[in-house]
Amino acid sequence: MNETATASSEQRSAEVGSGFGIVDVALVLLLAATIVCFILKSSGYGLFADDWRLADRGQSLGDFFQPYNNNLSIVPIAVYRLLYSVFGFGSYLPLRVVGVVSGAVVAGALFLLVRDRLGAAPALIVAASMLWYPRFVILPVTFNYYFALTAAIYCAWLLTRESRAADFALVLALSFALCCSGVGVAASVGCLVYVAVVRAPLRRWMSVLVPSAAWGGWWLLVGDQGRGPLARTFSQGVEFVRHGLAGSFQGLVGGNRLLGLVLAVLFVVNLGWRVRRGPRIACHELAWSAALLFWWVALAYSRGLLSSSDAVRYRFVGSVLVILAFLPVQRPSRALRMHGRAAVIAGLVVAGLVVSTNHGGIFHEARALEIGHRRIRQNLIVANLGTEVVPDRVIIPLGGFASLSAGDYRSLVVKYGAPPRTRPERPDVALIALGGFRVTVVPGSRPGRCLPLAAAAPIPATSTTVLGAPDRGVIVQVRRFGPIWVTIGRVPPGATASIDLPGLQATTPWMLRASGACVVQDAVSVDMPKNGATVTGTTPLVASTSRNDVSAVEFRLTGGNYSDTRIGAAVRGYGWVYRWDSTAVPNGRYTLTSVATNSAGHTTTTAKVSITVHN
């Protein structure tokens, strides 16, 4: 009997070991593949937002303790200071590696904690869910959140260990989290609730109170206690917290609202069941539920400009706190732990589904960010041309809410060097290669009567020009900062097109060349779209007038629930142009007019143009 039991026990142990081996290998492969994939996907990135705002921090010891976004940011300032001192602005790869690897470390830390409590299969599912989080933004500037989250996960594990070594490690881990971002404050709240519920001994209390009190003293003496800009009312704050909590659950189930609601219900039921069994049994759930609630309440107080659905990183933090709150404080019985081969296979399948389901949204976000980085690089190319092109006082947008004056930017370049590909030999070619120059042909449009275009026509820095090609196809070329003409598009024969050129922080005019083209310039009328046209998506609305005293033109829409409703003011180029998003109105038939106002305040309304919106 004993021999049989021993053999059975050994067999179970072998199965468990085998299961762990399979999952460990799967996790290592998943982590490696994700890191490589995300680094490759972020290859078009450059310095962004906080990368710039923290570039000149850490000049003195006191500078490390000055608040940044209302937080104590010693660790991120130190990381930026180190990387910029070693690599300068010459390569963004080191920051990309820090950002991507720090996100992967969060998933790895969760894997180890969940495996310890629930087994290998759930651990792999959780790790995959956080690695391939819905609409996850591959943005290195968020590494401070990941640093703090990793420390918070370590704190959750240390709280269940009763030793002096664990107390000392808890002081270090919580201090590290508090020096990274506001995530550390939420972790501190969780730890305080935990030690209160379990009635921990004094030395454990001190392990949590010492770093928490030190941060609180910093916040009172140095920190910024003010609310964020555009502070919310109480009802708006409650709505923000509600959406944030819902998003924290939805993020764990692929962003699905219904499954997120089911998960939230299970969360509440599990919390209530454990509380009924006694606070000590529910200490983990109570602690990290308090941290989750505090996280969203604190954001509602301090981040007045943001919506809870805007920043994926905030939901990511919330989802990690949900996972911590779900975990039991002790390992459940072997019967409840998922060690079997069937469970391991199920875990591998679900992890694969998580990756395949979320990769599209993640890659879409990566593409959008790459386009944003291209626009920043365009601004930097122009700024690097010197004060004659961009004076020192001009503000350069650098992503997010970050911006620098051209003078401050150039002083950083003197210190750290120019970012890659921002000092090209042929700036016009580089600017146009980065995109943002549109030649939009209106299907079915005809140029009608229009004025001949000069051989090389100067036009304003930010321009929308309407060209017609009455006889043959026309090649559209521009130049601005150099002598080389660069092709940006083509207007087919007999068609009309809108030519959009960006200003890029400089007032230097563009030169436009389009041999055989003419500038649409009829009597006061709506030139595009034509009467009876069907429009879809974003389409240029073009009005033209031969009068010289027109100071403003606006477009109005009638049909459905609209009655002579203003939909936008036009920008003056060659003609008056407004880029209208037709998806803002329901599909159907409408009439479009434009109203021109002259310098004396008199208005003229064009004849009605019938259009059909079909999206």
Closest CA to 579 of 533, 540, 615: 540
Which value, to the nearest 10 degrees, does the dihedral of the CA atoms of residues 170, 171, 177, 183 take?
70
What pLDDT is stored for residue 598 in this prediction?
A: 67
- Grade residue 424 by pLDDT with cuts at 50, 70 and 90: very high
Please give the span between the terminal C-alpha atoms of the chain, in angstroms, as a whole number.
75
Query: What SS3 state is found at 217?
Result: helix
Residue 157, Cα to own-chain centre: how many angstroms?
Answer: 30
For the stretch 32-39, contacts whose Cβ atoms lie closer than 8 Å and that sit 24 or more positions apart, written own/partner, are 34/104, 34/131, 34/132, 35/100, 35/101, 35/104, 38/100, 38/103, 38/138, 39/93, 39/96, 39/97, 39/100
| pLDDT exceeds 90 at position 496 | no
List of residues 6+ apart from 505 with CB closer than 8 A: 379, 382, 383, 390, 394, 395, 396, 406
Which of 106-120, 398-412, 551-565 is predicted with the least confidence, judged by mean pLDDT? Answer: 551-565
Closest CA to 548 of 489, 605, 600: 600
Q: What is the largest CA-CA distance in the chain?
A: 106
- Grade residue 481 by pLDDT with cuts at 50, 70 and 90: very high
Ranges 372-386, 467-481, 542-556, 599-613, most confident: 372-386
HSE-up of residue 357 (Cα within 13 Å, Cβ side) = 18
Q: For residues 424 and 434, what is the distance between their CA atoms, to the nearest angstrom?
A: 12
Identity of residue 209: L
% the chain with pLDDT above 70: 87
Total length of the chain? 615
What's the CATH fold of domain 435-519? Hypothetical Protein Tm1070; Chain: A (2.60.290)
What pLDDT is stored for residue 307 in this prediction?
A: 56
Q: pLDDT higher for 480 or 274?
A: 480
Q: For residues 84 and 68, what is the distance between their CA atoms, to the nearest angstrom?
A: 18
| pLDDT exceeds 70 at position 11 | no
Extract the tokens encoding 514. 């389009």
- Grade residue 6 by pLDDT with cuts at 50, 70 and 90: very low
Which of 4-8, 127-131, 170-174, 452-456 is predicted with the least confidence, judged by mean pLDDT? Answer: 4-8
- Grade residue 573 by pLDDT with cuts at 50, 70 and 90: low
Extract the tokens encoding 260. 């997120």
Sign of CA dihedral 325, 330, 334, 340: positive
Angle between helices 164-178 and 143-158 (to 10 degrees): 160
Q: For residues 362 and 400, what is the distance between their CA atoms, to the nearest angstrom?
A: 18
Q: Are 446 and 494 in contact (CB under 8 A)?
A: yes
Using the 8-state DSSP alphabet, how is residue 582 labeled?
G
- Grade residue 115 by pLDDT with cuts at 50, 70 and 90: confident
* Coarse DSSP helix, strand, coil percentages of the chain, rounded to the nearest 5 percent: 50, 20, 30
Q: List the domain boundaries for the chain.
A: 13-368, 435-519, 521-615
Rounded to an integer, the average pLDDT of 450-456 is 73
Q: For residues 157 and 177, what is the distance between their CA atoms, to the nearest angstrom?
A: 14
Q: Are 190 and 208 in contact (CB under 8 A)?
A: no
Peptide bond into 529 cis (omega under 30): yes
Plot region of 324 (φ>0 → left; ψ -120 to 50 → alpha; else → beta): alpha
| pLDDT exceeds 60 at position 39 | yes
Q: pLDDT higher for 189 or 547?
A: 189
pLDDT tens across 170-228, in order? Answer: 999 999 999 999 999 999 999 999 999 999 999 999 999 999 999 999 998 887 655 55
Which of 159-168, 368-377, 442-451, 563-572 is predicted with the least confidence, judged by mean pLDDT? Answer: 442-451
Q: For residues 266 and 365, what is the distance between their CA atoms, to the nearest angstrom?
A: 31
Structural domain 521-615, CATH architecture:
Sandwich (2.60)
Q: Are 217 and 276 in contact (CB under 8 A)?
A: no
Sign of CA dihedral 187, 190, 196, 199: negative
Q: For residues 369 and 399, what is the distance between their CA atoms, to the nearest angstrom?
A: 9
Q: Are 438 and 491 in contact (CB under 8 A)?
A: no
Q: For residues 317 and 311, what is the distance between their CA atoms, to the nearest angstrom?
A: 10
Query: What SS3 state is found at 314?
Result: helix
Residue corresponding to tokens 């019967």 = 335
Which of 344-358, 448-462, 566-580 is predicted with the least confidence, judged by mean pLDDT? Answer: 448-462
Q: Are 123 and 337 in contact (CB under 8 A)?
A: no
- Grade residue 8 by pLDDT with cuts at 50, 70 and 90: very low
Extract the tokens encoding 186. 């939420």
Q: For residues 3 and 186, what is the distance between their CA atoms, to the nearest angstrom?
A: 52
Ranges 8-12, 428-432, 584-588, most confident: 428-432
What pLDDT is stored for residue 9 in this prediction?
A: 39
What pLDDT is stored for residue 227 in this prediction?
A: 57
Closest CA to 190 of 294, 268, 90, 107: 294
- Grade residue 3 by pLDDT with cuts at 50, 70 and 90: very low
Extract the tokens encoding 194. 């935990």
What pLDDT is stored for residue 331 in this prediction?
A: 67
Extract the tokens encoding 431. 């600017």
